[in-house]
Amino acid sequence: MSFPVQRPRRLRQDSRLRKMIRQISVEPQQLIYPLFVVEGLEKTREISAMPGQMHWPVSQIHEPVAAAMKNGVEAFILFGVPSAKNSDGSCAARPDSVVCEAIRNIRQHCPEAYIITDVCLCAYTTHGHCGVLDASGCVDNDPSLSLLANMALAHVKAGADMVAPSDMMDGRVGAIRKLLDAEGFSQVPIMAYSAKYASSFYGPFREAAGSAPGKGDRRGYQMDFAVSRDAMTELQLDLEEGADILMVKPGIAYLDILAEARRQFSCPLAVYQVSGEYSMIKAAAEKGWVNERQVALESLIAMRRAGADLILTYFAPQVAGWLREEKN
């Protein structure tokens, strides 16, 4: 049977019917809002490469949290920008690190906020790599694991609800799980950045987090975007090591990976709409070339359609506000 019996347009003529048969939605509680907290900062300042996103002092980090929660966003992921770094990034595990202080502040002012922390050494190492370096300057996998696990433990002790390792060292989920369990935190979930690509879409973030590698790039540990074979292996390994939620990152250019992950895994999946994706929409919208609201929502719906349960996005509070307007 085909045209003229089949007329797919019939279902598109009436906005009520279109709404009735919509499959995909995005809800504020599916969004995770990334926040940058900067040690020693006196007052809030805009991140120039990410219009609308701020560097927050510890003393004010609860403000964006409270504001987003008013619109129904309840989960946050914290990125710390420390005032001092060291060669092995071990300062990341200090109980008074900028992230630990931020967690305590948020807990005090917004006890209901769900606090996730990014676990990676890149903002804490003087060389800007996500793990420690060996004598030849290569990122040394195994000695990095305990440093990452210690960082995660410090965050959890300070009150983090969940940790999210983003470093891409092999075995780090297992190392973190083991240490958290041994320390009595077996109920704290891990969201693993599992299929994380060496992407230039992270450009604006490196300004935001001050985490660009001094020498070289991250292609020795993050994934090659011209290969898709190893993605499911990475996800499977993290699951076996004890990850509770698996992430694909970046978002819009990696929906094939996300869709395949959805077919193969039944655990919750997250996707990260990264800084470059955000800033590109912002920039084009500023020029009047695209409609910011529509393009942002369309991108998030596309990620949900591909199979994401959760979306990390800098648009979180804005989108939640739009969704609320649409419901009213």
Q: How far is the CB of 314 from ligand PBG (least distance, A)?
A: 7
What is the Cα–Cα distance from 320 to 326, expressed in whole angstroms? 10
Q: Which is nearer to ligand PBG, 150 or 166 (CB)?
A: 166
With tokens 């979306």, the residue in question is 311
**Sign of torsion over alpha carbons 251, 283, 201, 150:** negative
For 25, which DSSP code? -
Q: How far is the CB of 128 from ligand PBG (least distance, A)?
A: 9
For 133, which DSSP code? E
- Residue among 19, 178, 249, 327 flagged as catalytic: 249
Q: How far is the CB of 119 from ligand PBG (least distance, A)?
A: 9
Amino acid at the residue 156: V
Nearest CA among 152, 195, 154, 146 for reference residue 175:
146
Q: Are 238 and 164 in contact (CB under 8 A)?
A: no
Binding residues (CB under 6 A) for ligand PBG: these are 118, 120, 122, 130, 166, 202, 205, 218, 274-275
Q: Which is nearer to ligand PBG, 9 or 137 (CB)?
A: 137
Q: Which is nearer to ligand PBG, 10 or 215 (CB)?
A: 215
| Tokens found for residue 291 | 């409609």
Tell me, yes or no, if 215 is annotated catalytic.
no
Is the preceding peptide bond at 250 cis, omega within 30 degrees of 0? yes
Question: Which residue minimizes CB distance to ligand PBG?
Answer: 205
Q: Which is nearer to ligand PBG, 166 or 299 (CB)?
A: 166
Q: Which is nearer to ligand PBG, 141 or 275 (CB)?
A: 275
Amino acid at the residue 298: E
Across 120-232, where does the E strand assignment appear?
A: 132-133, 139-140, 162-165, 191-196
| Tokens found for residue 317 | 């509070």
Helix axes 98-109, 141-158, angle to 10 degrees: 30
Q: How far is the CB of 199 from ligand PBG (least distance, A)?
A: 8
- Residue among 178, 196, 282, 327 flagged as catalytic: 196
Residues 6+ apart with CB under 8 A from 294: none
Q: How far is the CB of 203 from ligand PBG (least distance, A)?
A: 7
Q: How far is the CB of 319 from ligand PBG (least distance, A)?
A: 16
Tell me, yes or no, if 43 is annotated catalytic.
no
Residues 6+ apart with CB under 8 A from 34: 76, 77, 78, 79, 118, 312, 313, 314
Q: Which is nearer to ligand PBG, 10 or 254 (CB)?
A: 254
| Tokens found for residue 107 | 């807990």
What is the Cα–Cα distance from 241 to 12, expressed in whole angstroms? 46
Q: How far is the CB of 182 from ligand PBG (least distance, A)?
A: 25
Q: Which is nearer to ligand PBG, 120 or 192 (CB)?
A: 120
| Tokens found for residue 89 | 């990034």
For 97, which DSSP code? S
Could you list the active site residues? Answer: 196, 249
